[in-house]
Structure 1
Amino acid sequence: MYFCHSILFMKYVHRQMESCVKRIIKSFPCLAVTGPRQSGKSTLLTNTLPEYNYITLDDPLTRQRALSDPRLFLDTAGEKVIIDEIQWAPHLMSYIKMRVDERRDKMGAYVFTGSQQFTMIKNLSDSLAGRIALLDLLPFSVEEKKTSISLNSTKEAFIHAALRTSYPEPALNAHLDVPVWAGAYVQTYLERDVRSLYNVGNLSDFQHFLQLLASRCSQILNMSQFANDLGVSLPTIKSWLSILEAGRIIYLLPPYYVNLGKRITKSPKIYFLDIGLVCYLTGIRDRDHLLKGPLAGPLFENFCIAETIKLFFNRGRRGNLFFLRTNNNLEVDLLIEESFETVTPVEIKLNQTPNMRMGSHITRFKELFSKLKVNDGRILSLTEKSIPLSRDISAVTLNDYLKQVAKGIT
C-alpha cells in the first residue's frame, strides 16, 4: 500500500492505468506491466485485479521453485495469476506459451511485472509474440497525486515532484527522508538491476555517468562529450544509455525531421522520468535552490515533458512526441503529433507572467511548416490561470494543458 502523509494511515491511490489494465485482460491471454523499480506496479495490479493469485519472484524460495520445476510452479499458481518480477525466471516463458496455446480462448490468464524492460521485453517478445500486451507504469502523475495531496497550482506540483519525487513512497509519506530514500534507490538500482542484469564494466563510472546526465537534463544529447568526460568509449556510452532508457530512468525525446534535412538537429534530448532523482543526483535539496539555481528552467521543462509522457503511457499509448531545433535558431520545446500532418507546438517557460514574445518560436514554426496543420500553440508556464495571448497561442496551466492533450489521445 502507499503511505499518505501519516505513517499510521494507509490508502491505495488509484492509478490512471487501471481502466487500461481491465480492458486489455479481456483481449489478450497475457499482460506485462513494466516500469522503473518502485513505481507501483505490484500495488496497481493487486488492487485492480484482486481475484488474481499473486506470486513474487523477488522471494528467493519462490524463485527457486520456479527455476527448479517450472511445470509444478505453474500447476500450483492458479487459473489467473500475477507473477511479479518475471525477469528473474525468463525460462518460464516457454512453459507459459505452451499453456496459453492450449487455451487460446482464455483471456487474461497471466499478468507479469518487471523492473528491467529490456531484459523482460526481449524474452516476452521472443516467447509470447501475438499473445501479450505491454504497458509501462511510471511514477505518479500530478493528477494521481492530487487525490491525496493538495497541489493547487503548477508551481506547487513542480516543487513537490522535485523535492518529494513522484515515486509513491516518498511522494506520499511526508515523514520519509527523501535524500536517504533516493540514495538507497539509486544504490539498489545499480546493485540489483544494473550489476546483476548487465555487463557495464566499472559501476562507479556508470554512476558518474548517471550524475552527468542529470546535470544535463533537457539538453541535446552529446554522446562524444560524455565519452570524453568519462574516458570511456562511444559504444560504452550507447550501451549505458540503452540500460537507463530500458529501465525507464531516462527518456530520449527525438527531433522532428519532416523534410528539412541537414537544417535540423538530429540528436535526441535527455529527460528523466522523475525529476526528484535529478534533484538528488545534482544536490538540489530545497525550494530556493530549485527555483533560483541554474537548473531551474531545465528541471521545469523536464517536469512538463515527463507529465506529458505519463499522460500517454497511462492510456496504453506511446505518443508521437518530438522537439525541434534548426541551425537558424528556431527551437520548439515539444511537438505533439496527432497525425502525420497535424501537430501541436508547446513552449515551456518557468515564468509566472507569460507574454506573446514567448510564442515567437511557435509563430516562426507555423511559417516554416506552412503545409502542416498546426494546432493552436501553447505556452506552458507557472501562470495561475490559462489566458489567450493571441488568436492562436495561449498561456496554459499544467492542469488545463494536460486536459487538452488528453482529449486528443485516441
Structure 2
Amino acid sequence: MIIARKIKTLVQQRLKSYPAVALIGPRQSGKTTLARSLSTDYFDLEQEPEQLRLDVQWPSLIKTKRLIVLDEAQSWPELFPRLRGAIDMERQRLGRFLLLGSVSPALMKHVSESLAGRLSLVELTPLTLTELPDIPMTELWLRGGFPDGGVLTSDRYPQWQKDYLDLMTQRDLPSWGLSAKPQVMQRLLRMLAAVHGQLWNASQIGQSLGLSYHTVNTYVHFLEGTFLIRKLQPWFANVKKRLVRSPKCYWRDTGILHSLLGVQDYETLLNQPWVGASWEGFVIGQILDTLNMTGWPVDPWFFRTADGAEIDLMFRYKNKLWAIEVKLTSNPSLQDFDSLNRAADLVGADKRVLVSQTTQSAVGKMQISCSLQELLEMFVKPE
C-alpha cells in the first residue's frame, strides 16, 4: 500500500525557502521512502562505501541543480563543514540538500555548530489517523503507526515491535552514545511502559533498577531524543491553588507500548486496567503529530491541581489557548464537561474540547465534544 505522507508538502515548502532541510524522526518511520520520492540522488552515510561515493562525487554534486539526499547524516561528522562551505558559496540557492536523521541530539549538535540559519528542521512521525482514512482507528491505536509495524499488515504485530526494541537496545543506542547495558535498557523500557501516562518519578524507577535518579533522567532524556518517549510538562499558571509540578511520561507510539505490556489484540487491550492511559497517550500523540505535519507545531502542557482539577492537554494554537480532556467512552456526560470547564476556567482557556469515541459531536464557539477523527480534521482543514 502506498501512503501519501501529508508532511511531504511541508518539506517541499521548506526546500523553497532554505538551502537545506533536515527531516528527523524515529527509525523506520518512513524518512527514506519520503526522501526517495523527492530525489534519486541518495546517499546512506551509515555505509562506508556511500561515504566514499559522496566524497568522490562532492565537487560535481555541489554544482548540480538536483536535490541531494543525505541519510543518517550524523554518522559522518566531517560532512557538516562541507555543507556549510557549499551553502555559503552560493547562499541564494535554495533546496539543495535534504538531511535525514534518527537521533536528534547527535544531529542537532552538528546542525547548531555548522548549519545554524542555513537549515530548517521538519519532524516525520509514524503514520497518523489522517493519513490512514481506510484503516480503523482501533488498528492504529493497538499496533501503532510504524509503516512496517502491523498497521498495514497485521501479522507483523507485536513481533516487529519486539525486534525493533531489541535492535535499538543492542545496537543503535550504544552506537549513538548511550552507555547503558542492553539488559538495563530493556528493563527500563518495560518500566516506562508500566508508568505510561503517569507523573514522572525518576527516583522510584532508579530504585527498581539500582541506578541514581540522575542516571535514569539522563537515559530517558536520550530516549526522548530518539523519539521513543515524550515528556509532557505541567502548565504553571497564576492560580490560587497548589499545582502539580512533575511532568508526565508517554510512549510516543502505542504499538511499542502495547508490545512491551504483552497485549496481542484489541479485546485484550480493552480489558487492561491501564487502557484509559493508553487511549489518553494515543489521542495526545495524534493531536501533536497532526499539528506538527501541518506546519503548526505547538508547545504542549498538561494541567493538574493538588485537589484534582485536571486538563490532559493544553497548547496555544492560532492565538488561542486550547484545553483538551480525553475520555475513553462513547457517551460523554455533562459531568465530564463540567469538570473540564472548571479546570479550563482556572487557566482562562479559549477552547474547551472533550475528546471521546462519540458518534454525536457538538461544536460550539468555545466548547466542543467530538471524536478524535473530527478534531484532527479541524486542524487539517481549519474553518
Q: TM-score, normalised by structure 2?
A: 0.93
List per-residue Cα deviations over 1:224-256 (Å, max 9, x = no partner). Answer: 111112110122111111111001111111111
> How many Å separate the matches in 1 of 2:240 and 2:232?
18
CA contact (8 A) 1:338 1:408 kept: no
Aligned to 1:246: 225
Aligned to 1:349: 327
RMSD of equivalent CA atoms: 2.1
Query: Match for 1:381 among 341, 351, 356?
Result: 356
Q: Once structures 1 and 2 are overlaid, which stretch shifts more, 232-241 or 194-203?
A: 194-203
Aligned to 1:144: 131
List per-residue Cα deviations over 1:109-148 (Å, max 9, x = no partner). Answer: 11100111111111111110100000110100011122xx
> How many Å separate the matches in 1 of 2:118 and 2:284?
32
The amino acid of 1:393's aligned partner reads Q
Q: Once structures 1 and 2 are overlaid, which stretch shifts more, 96-105 or 78-87?
A: 78-87
> How many Å separate the matches in 1 of 2:346 and 2:152?
48
Structure 2 portions without partners, runs of 5+: none
- SS of residue in 2 equivalent to 1:399: helix
The reply to whether residue 46 of structure 1 matches residue 36 of structure 2 is yes
CA displacement at 1:399 relative to structure 2: 1.4
CA displacement at 1:58 relative to structure 2: 3.2
The reply to whether residue 104 of structure 1 matches residue 91 of structure 2 is yes
List per-residue Cα deviations over 1:179-211 (Å, max 9, x = no partner). Answer: 221111111222332111113232211111111
After superposition, the Cα gap between the structure-2 partners of 1:355 and 1:240, relative to the gap in structure 1 and judged at 3 Å, is same
The reply to whether residue 401 of structure 1 matches residue 375 of structure 2 is yes
After superposition, the Cα gap between the structure-2 partners of 1:311 and 1:261, relative to the gap in structure 1 and judged at 3 Å, is farther
Query: Match for 1:87 among 70, 74, 91?
Result: 74
CA displacement at 1:177 relative to structure 2: 2.3
Q: Once structures 1 and 2 are overlaid, which stretch shifts more, 197-206 or 239-248?
A: 197-206
Runs of 4+, deviation exceeding 6 Å: none
- SS of residue in 2 equivalent to 1:254: strand
The amino acid of 1:297's aligned partner reads G
> How many Å separate the matches in 2 of 1:317 and 1:188?
33
- SS of residue in 1 equivalent to 2:300: strand
The reply to whether residue 367 of structure 1 matches residue 345 of structure 2 is yes
- SS of residue in 1 equivalent to 2:301: strand
- SS of residue in 2 equivalent to 1:333: strand
After superposition, the Cα gap between the structure-2 partners of 1:55 and 1:391, relative to the gap in structure 1 and judged at 3 Å, is closer
Q: Once structures 1 and 2 are overlaid, which stretch shifts more, 185-194 or 230-239?
A: 185-194
Q: How does 1:85-234 map to 2 (within 5 A)?
A: 85-146=72-133, 149-151=134-136, 157=137, 159-174=138-153, 176-234=155-213
> How many Å separate the matches in 1 of 2:284 and 2:188?
22
CA displacement at 1:280 relative to structure 2: 0.5
The amino acid of 1:44's aligned partner reads L
> How many Å separate the matches in 1 of 2:306 and 2:346?
13
After superposition, the Cα gap between the structure-2 partners of 1:262 and 1:119, relative to the gap in structure 1 and judged at 3 Å, is farther
CA displacement at 1:59 relative to structure 2: 2.9
List per-residue Cα deviations over 1:136-167 (Å, max 9, x = no partner). Answer: 10100011122xx343xxxxx1x212333210
CA displacement at 1:220 relative to structure 2: 1.2
Q: Once structures 1 and 2 are overlaid, which stretch shifts more, 101-110 or 184-193?
A: 184-193
CA displacement at 1:400 relative to structure 2: 1.2
CA contact (8 A) 1:114 1:120 kept: yes
> How many Å separate the matches in 2 of 1:92 and 1:270?
35
List per-residue Cα deviations over 1:64-119 (Å, max 9, x = no partner). Answer: 555xxx4x342254633001111110111001111110010110111100111111
After superposition, the Cα gap between the structure-2 partners of 1:278 and 1:366, relative to the gap in structure 1 and judged at 3 Å, is closer
> How many Å separate the matches in 1 of 2:318 and 2:15?
28
CA contact (8 A) 2:311 2:340 kept: yes
The amino acid of 1:384's aligned partner reads T
The reply to whether residue 321 of structure 1 matches residue 296 of structure 2 is no
After superposition, the Cα gap between the structure-2 partners of 1:28 and 1:231, relative to the gap in structure 1 and judged at 3 Å, is same
Aligned to 2:10: 20
> How many Å separate the matches in 2 of 1:127 and 1:142?
36
Aligned to 1:35: 25
Q: Once structures 1 and 2 are overlaid, which stretch shifts more, 198-207 or 327-336?
A: 198-207
- SS of residue in 1 equivalent to 2:121: strand
List per-residue Cα deviations over 1:259-316 (Å, max 9, x = no partner). Answer: 2488111111111211000000111111221012112101100100110111122123
CA contact (8 A) 2:291 2:379 kept: no
The amino acid of 2:378's aligned partner reads Q
Query: Match for 1:74 among 58, 62, 65?
Result: 58
Count of aligned residue pairs for this structure pair:
380
The amino acid of 2:376's aligned partner reads L
